[in-house]
Amino acid sequence: MKIAPSVLTADFSQLEAELKSIDNADLLHLDIMDGHFVPNISFGPAITKSIQDQTHLPLDIHLMVTDPLQWIPKFALEQTKYITIHVESNHVSETIQAIQKEHIGVGISLKPKTPVRAIIPYLNEVSLILVMTVEPGFGGQSFMEEMMEKVKELVEIRKREGLHFLIEIDGGVNEETIQIAKASGVDISVVGSYLFNQEDRHQLIEVLKCV
């Protein structure tokens, strides 16, 4: 299992130390919120660039924004590995093309109430599918185990169609729920408040990787 800590729950007044405490992770997950697509605001390109300058980890950028197209060039940083947009956002096809032009992996995400069929038209163009296991916008929510049906559906589609996208989940991941995720076929788990509430984050990341 690959582990992608979400910096949304980090202490930004101690950012360098916080990033160092999770530097054995596989990716760094950054939730970008516009206050419109979700009822919360996080941070933008300037803070993202500052985060990049203080970590060696590849960036896994999750745009929870209504109009992602305008933001792609601003988040196409040197360490950006994936930019994930929501299928519920505007101009999905055009935004996918914009990400591809930056030579960055395309991710597509779906909210809990959105069925897998909504992303079927894009499966040949994406490197990553992010299944939200909580309602997007706030940390600390409980894991929605019923979302594992979507994961299993995606695993079956991937196998049947000979595709290679990774399956990621975000929301409510801990030592118990990550076992459920692994059994369902998840490749990458975003871990937020559960990880940042631990004293020895390096150790927990190693435990979660070995699930």
Residues marked active site are found at 31, 170
What's the token pair of residue 32? 């970008």
